[in-house]
Structure formats: C-alpha cells, structure tokens
Amino acid sequence: MRYACVLWTLVCLLFSQLLWADDSSVEYKIKAGYLYNFTKFITWSEDNDKTFNLCILGDNPFGELIDPIEQRSAMGRPIKIFRFDNFGSMGHEPHCHILFVSPSIKNMPPAQNLVNTLVVGESGGFINQGGMIGFINKDGKIKLQINQKTIEQNGLKISAKLLEVADTVKGVNND
C-alpha cells in the first residue's frame, strides 16, 4: 500500500510537470500567433527591406514554437526571425518591424531608436515603460494592453479592430 502511494505521488508530480510545460507551450503558441497577426492590424511606413523582420530581444521564451512564422509572409515579404541577447547586439541592421522584448531585458530600448518598429513585451507594466503592446495573462487567457500614443509616435498606424480586442488601451485622448 505504501509503495502504491509513493508511486501515485511520483506519477502525479510527473504529470503536473508535463501539464505545466504544456500550458507554457500553449501560451507561447498563442503569443506567437498574436505576433504574426499583428502584421495584419498594424501599418508600417514604407521601407526598402526585402524581408519583414521579427526580432526577439533577450531570452527567447518561444523556443522553436515561433519558427513556423518564417514560412509565412507579411506586407508581401517573407518573414525572417532574428534573436539578440541584448540591445547593444542589435546594431543598426536589420530593421526590426516587430521587436519582442523578453522580460529578461530590464531596461527598455530607447524609443527614438525604434522608429517604424512595433515593440511588444510581456513584463508587468510594459506599456507604461515605453512598450507598445503588452501581453498579460488574465484569468488564464492572454490579453493585450496597448499604448496607442506610443504606437503612433513611432510612425505606426493601428487598426480599430485590434484596439477593440485589447483589454487596456492607453494613450487615447487625455491618457
């Protein structure tokens, strides 16, 4: 009987870790889907880039889950993913159309260096620190917080449809 209890406890612990890993991968699949779908609801200024560049700054929480995005296109160009350890390693090339800032990055990149770039993150208070779209987990669902003013200041236009699905919209009128 005692052996059965120990075995059951080990099975439960193992299963709970698998569920947790599964929940995490589902969360980042959803976030990767959002990153791709932003290409349909944000308008960037014209540029001469041959690819549409999605950059990940800091630790990559997506792992390989984000890689299938490179099989798609945005604005008539193939999507290319770039990964950078820190802001200094980004240099000036490539231009990032979407920049995902990992929570491992403690200081936001200067906004003046990110013209025509949609800056997305998931750390608490992201849109209050200069971020444009923040992912939040609310009641087990991924929700969006949007700083419309910052988006527009960086030369981007956001669709009203994206604003409608946001949990929070900051930077409108007197905000």
Residue 9's pLDDT is: 36
Question: Which band of pLDDT confidence, cut at 50, 70 and 90, is reported for residue 11?
Answer: very low
Burial environment of residue 72 by CB neighbours within 10 A (0 to 12, 13 to 18, 19 or more): exposed
Better pLDDT: 140 or 133? 133
pLDDT at 12 over 90: no
Residue 51's pLDDT is: 97
Residue 34's pLDDT is: 96
Rounded CA-CA distance 72/117 in Å is: 19
Phi/psi at 77 (5° precision) = -125, 150
Map out the domains of the chain with their CATH numbers: 2-170 (3.40.50)
Rounded CA-CA distance 169/134 in Å is: 10
Mean pLDDT of all residues in the chain? 83
C-alpha distances in Å from residue 21, one per residue of 14, 24, 27, 30, 108: 11, 5, 10, 14, 28
pLDDT at 5 over 50: no
Residue 107's pLDDT is: 79
Residues of the chain with pLDDT > 70: what percent? 81
Residue 7's pLDDT is: 35
Residue 19's pLDDT is: 35
Average confidence (pLDDT) over 41-57: 95
Which residue shows structure tokens 């929070």? Answer: 168
Q: pTM for the whole thing?
A: 0.83
Residue 138's pLDDT is: 87
Rounded CA-CA distance 56/60 in Å is: 7
61-113 pLDDT, tens digit each: 999 999 999 999 999 999 999 999 887 777 767 899 999 999 998 877 766 67
Q: What tokens were used for 34?
A: 């959002």
Question: Which band of pLDDT confidence, cut at 50, 70 and 90, is reported for residue 114?
Answer: confident
